[in-house]
Structure 1
Amino acid sequence: MTTTTDIVAKLWSLCNVLRDDGVTYNEYVTELTYLLFLKMLEETGRESRLPDGYRWGILAKRAGMEQLDYYKAMLLELGKAKDGLVAAIFTDAQTRLRKPTNLKALTSNIDQLDWFSAREEGLGNLYEGLLEKNASDKKSGAGQYFTPRPLIDCIVRLMQPQPGEVVQDPAAGTAGFLVAADRYIKDHTDDLYKLNEGQAFFQRHNAFTGGELVPDTHRLCMMNLLLHGIEGGVDNIDTLSPDGEALAKADLVLTNPPFGTKKGGGRPTRSDFSVTADTSNKQLAFVEHIVRALKPGGRAAVVLPDNVLFEDNTGRRLRTWMMDLCDLHTILRLPTGIFYAQGVKTNVLFFQRGKADSGNTKAVWVYDMRANMPVFGKTRPLTVAAFAEFEAAYGDDPMGRAKREEQGEEGRWRKFTREAIAARNDSLDIAWLRDTETEAEEGLTEPEDIAAAIIGHLKAALEEIEALSEEIEPDSVDEAAALAEAAE
């Protein structure tokens, strides 16, 4: 898609124009979202969704302070639009632009792009390219909202979303998983033309659901969904609050929930939470949400950091509870260097909600894609081909029931019975290959990749400290305080 790549490069280069205006990379992408939304509605003949008097053509032909003032008024009006999707994108929207010349530079350059070719290649692809460019730029820090496309595509191929299923991402970010699931379904239904009218309507309006906490990221999410023909579905909510209880039960959950703890050490406020009600660890709480969100027989693929696999107390209780309620059939240990922003070691857990409430996990298959693997980053980008051997081992059944061949202690693919895991105190941090990560890191040459490796080690150490702090029981804290007081 040469035209799309060229347009993304041109749009990204315009960010240099705005640096003097104090606009950051993420603010620039948000600003571009406002402007591209208006231009794309003009290009696709859908400006009727906008309030009267607020159109791209009116904005683009103006100049100077008149244009900037009109643009500010336009953002306010669009935030009050009757069209729900328009209002969602522009709610509380404010421009970061202060110099009229910069706004004119943006509108003029956007008008001059090859929009005919962009429409042919897909406006959604153009916007995704822009999001990927922002996420891959280390200065933007947007990687925390962006799961690499090769990983998303691998997961979606294995999970095989089907027409008529409700697909949920409770931490949607910029909607990468939902868009990929939609693309998979469209590829298998001749762009929905094989479906009847009611089924096609369901796919566009009701098939995809989720939540995203950060308002600006939610805007990017809604724009991405719109440009892929999906009418909303993701709410600007905290999934770990009561709002998350209202999300529709799902046939399939695909997600990469945020890492770390809730700000200020806050706990989830969900009335339906029992296992993680007293923890500030967001990943653990999201796992409880996912298990509760699945319909009986529903399936999930979730990206999670290592500490979820080994943390004691709440972590262990959660794993035991999850393996009772669900068939946790597969764990993929991901290689390092995939998530620059977090820098932590990650895994993908594949599981299915059982129809009974106990004894659902009989065995767990683990694929180690981390040990003796190169560190991925700018020097060595992640590609679809990197997952080929894992996909072959996983098989063609999304529930993990395909015939599987264990590779033994020298291989990457092994089976562990539920009894063997119980003997490990229900720890799922299972590794058997000699890890030559240090040797792999010695081959890094790009400063960004070296920095990412260092950040990874620091983050891992912090995760272990957080896990230890979670293990301290209130009684122990009171005892320590009493001893300290007595010593004084």
Structure 2
Amino acid sequence: MTTITHDIVAKLWNLCNVLKDDGVTYHQYVIELTYLLFLKMAKETGTENLLPEGYRWDDLEGRAATERLDFYKLLLLHLGSNGSTLVKEIFANASSSIKKPNTLSTLVTEIDKLDWYSARREGLGDVYEGLLEKNANEKKSGAGQYFTPRSLIDSMVHVMRPTLEDIIQDPAAGTGGFLIAANRYIRENSDPNTWTKKQKHKYRSNTFYGMEHVQDTHRLALMNLMLHGLEFDPQGAGIHYGDTLSPEGSALPKATLILTNPPFGSKKGGGLATRKDFTFSTSNKQFCFLQHIYAGLKPGGRAAAVFPDNVLFDSNVGKQIRTELMEKCNLHTILRLPSGIFYAQGVKTNVLFFTCGKKENGNTQEVWVYDLRANISQFGKRTQLTRKHFAEFEVAFGDDPLGSPASLTKRVDTGEQGRFRKFTREWIAERSDNLDISWLKYENEADTDAQLEPAALVQEAMAELEAALEELRGILGELAEEVEA
């Protein structure tokens, strides 16, 4: 993020103080700001034709301060059913949490004051994504649940090497980070000026697909994609509002590349997924998404997906799903991620890299595991995860996104003292297909976090705080005894 972009993002984020005084939550703040920014950015980018006349930025700004809030609420209702398809999707069921007319007037005035010339030059998409990242890093917003660290996304995209020929899918799209990063990679590694008419059509209409189940998050995703130049087609490409674990998900086209970080936990109410095409029924969302991913790939298609540790070792339906995965796909690489990179869930996670086989069985012959968790500082507010932390992994992974047998022979097993090791399919079968594989000894005895059973880091933090309080009580008790003596 450039200094100018950072400055604009900071100014936008500081406006949340205005809304906080009106009782608006952090999460709702970004939604509220999205509505206003859409109107303003449509004006700045000359795309106001998407909006019906009389319901644009100047119409809002031109209202008297005392009338502006009432008009704004009418505007939100009107845009939910009028304007372009994109507008209607972003403003579907939209409502405002703002209660005081002065709050809205302050927001409109401050947004208007921003350096929009610089914002356009820097890239409105980068400004908006910076705002989403800011929100995700704010603990009180709880937005970390749909925001994957950009450094991790960029690393996954880099080793998967998307191309213009790919059909790319994210079945748990969140705010669209994976699709945007894949788009950026394609454009940086291929000159759009040389694309043929056929390639341009394919890029616009049959390259990027996604689905998001939370409507407010879906709005953010559509806004994000639009500002990065990606189109939305209600009948085709783009991020659609729906439940991937319902029949809506089976309607997504087969992909040659899936990049995703599915939600963790169980379906609401513990119910089973309503998909009829899953081999195994389970209420566990990540196991449902794993089945969706390997069933949703074309033969030869590849995937990189983030999953919590329990997907690697669950002994019930999880074991059956892992077995099917390794039969149908070549699960060639597992990246054990550091602790603390997902604030909201706080669970330990991994990236699974696999390629759909062209035959039905026996596709996984060996699994390479890269341990980026052992003896690594826990990431969080103090230590930021950056792309450089993945540099050695990317080199070890190599330049073949498919993990084909020929490319795997070029990899180097670093042994028990190293981070990258190879395990045969037979050895894994002897472990009941348990893929929770670790071998490095922890240099710091205190670093027990990485050895605990998977659990939310929030719970671990609470335990640490309780232990610290207990210790303080002990000190207080000792001090009291000394005073009495």
**TM-score (normalised: structure 1):** 0.89
8 Å contact kept, 1:241–1:268: yes
- Does 2:432 align with 1:429? no
Counterpart-to-counterpart distance in 2, 1:440 and 1:70: 56
Counterpart-to-counterpart distance in 2, 1:308 and 1:200: 39
Q: CA deviation at 1:212?
A: 0.3
What SS does structure 2 have at the residue aligned with 1:297?
strand
Counterpart-to-counterpart distance in 1, 2:123 and 2:312: 40
Aligned ranges 1:191-270 → 2 under 5 Å: 192-232=192-232, 233-270=238-275
Q: 1:441 to 1:59 in 2, by over 3 A?
A: farther
Q: Which residue of 2 aligns with 1:393?
A: 396
Deviation by residue 1:365-403 (Cα, 9 ceiling, x = unmatched): 000010111111111100110001101100011112331
Q: CA deviation at 1:22?
A: 1.2
Aligned ranges 1:88-487 → 2 under 5 Å: 88-190=89-191, 192-232=192-232, 233-275=238-280, 277=281, 279-401=282-404, 402=407, 403-435=410-442, 439-440=446-447, 453-456=457-460
Deviates more, 1:200-209 or 1:19-28: 200-209
Deviation by residue 1:393-447 (Cα, 9 ceiling, x = unmatched): 00011112331011011111000000000000000000011135763589xxxxx
Q: CA deviation at 1:198?
A: 2.8
Deviates more, 1:57-66 or 1:21-30: 57-66
- Aligned residue identity for 1:205: S
Q: 1:138 to 1:457 in 2, by over 3 A?
A: closer
Q: CA deviation at 1:144?
A: 0.7
Q: CA deviation at 1:453?
A: 4.3
- Aligned residue identity for 2:273: P
- Does 2:82 align with 1:81? yes
Q: CA deviation at 1:452?
A: 8.0
Deviation by residue 1:166-193 (Cα, 9 ceiling, x = unmatched): 1000000000000000000011123x22
Counterpart-to-counterpart distance in 1, 2:459 and 2:193: 47
Q: Which residue of 2 aligns with 1:57?
A: 58
Q: Which runs of 5+ in 2 are unaligned?
A: 233-237, 450-454, 464-485
Deviation by residue 1:195-242 (Cα, 9 ceiling, x = unmatched): 112312322332111110000000000000000001121111010001
Counterpart-to-counterpart distance in 2, 1:349 and 1:156: 13
8 Å contact kept, 1:441–1:453: no
Deviation by residue 1:27-65 (Cα, 9 ceiling, x = unmatched): 000000001011111001010011121110111122333
Counterpart-to-counterpart distance in 2, 1:321 and 1:384: 33
8 Å contact kept, 2:306–2:352: yes
Counterpart-to-counterpart distance in 1, 2:283 and 2:150: 29
8 Å contact kept, 2:396–2:412: yes
8 Å contact kept, 1:363–1:418: yes
- Aligned residue identity for 1:84: T
Deviation by residue 1:79-119 (Cα, 9 ceiling, x = unmatched): 11241111110000001111110101111111110000111
Q: Which runs of 5+ in 1 are unaligned?
A: 443-450, 460-488
Q: 1:457 to 1:316 in 2, by over 3 A?
A: farther
Counterpart-to-counterpart distance in 1, 2:11 and 2:306: 33
Counterpart-to-counterpart distance in 1, 2:386 and 2:66: 46
8 Å contact kept, 1:240–1:285: yes
Deviation by residue 1:314-344 (Cα, 9 ceiling, x = unmatched): 0000000000000000000001010011010
